[in-house]
Amino acid sequence: MSANDDYVYDEESGEWMPASELASRQAAASRVEVRDAVGNLLGDGDSVALIKDLEVKGAGKTLKVGTVIKSIRLTGDPQEIDCRHESIRGLVLRAEFVRKR
Q: Which domain holds residue 44?
A: 34-100
| Total of domains in the chain | 2
pLDDT by residue (tens digit) across 8-23? 888 888 889 888 888 8
pTM over 0.85: no
Tell me the CATH number at 40. Answer: 2.30.30.40
The answer to whether 83 and 74 have CB atoms below 8 angstroms apart is no
Burial (CB < 10 A; 0-12, 13-18, 19+), residue 56, is middle
Question: Does 8 share its domain with 19?
Answer: yes
The answer to whether 17 and 10 have CB atoms below 8 angstroms apart is yes
Tell me the pLDDT of the chain averaged across its residues.
87
The single-letter code of the amino acid at 69 is I
pLDDT > 70: percent of the chain: 93
Helix intervals (H) in 1-101: 19-30
Question: Does 84 share its domain with 56?
Answer: yes
pLDDT by residue (tens digit) across 37-50? 999 999 999 999 99
